[in-house]
Amino acid sequence: MPRKAYLANYYSSEELKHKYLKSQDSVESRRWHLLWKISLGWSIKNSAIAIGINYDYGKEIVRRYNNTGEEGQEKKELRIKKTKSENNREEEKLY
């Protein structure tokens, strides 16, 4: 059984659900949806699969939420570190 993810106690499960359902922005809505599922006891991996996002992106959402609360969920790109091969492929496309 996967380890349960730690979520900082900024909002209750009901508040997270409310934020997920009321969000007008699809990106923010998915982030709140992930956090709500995790608050219900789902693993990050299963929550990410259920809402259709990448596992690493899901971990980044949780990390930001734990560090900054609601500010970390505002719409701005969350950057995932790229591997060297991904960076090399992007550089090759430039030439």
25-72 pLDDT per residue, tens? 999 999 999 999 999 999 999 999 999 999 999 999 999 999 988 776
Instruction: Give residue 87's pLDDT.
Output: 61
pLDDT per position as a tens digit, 73-90: 766 555 555 566 666 666
- The residue behind tokens 């560090």 is 67
Read off the DSSP letter of residue 76.
S
The answer to whether the pTM exceeds 0.75 is no
The residue among 80 and 16 whose pLDDT is bigger is 16
Residue of 70, 80, 22, 18 whose CA lies nearest to 48 = 80
Instruction: Give residue 5's pLDDT.
Output: 87
Identify the three-state secondary structure at position 32.
Answer: helix
Instruction: Give residue 21's pLDDT.
Output: 96
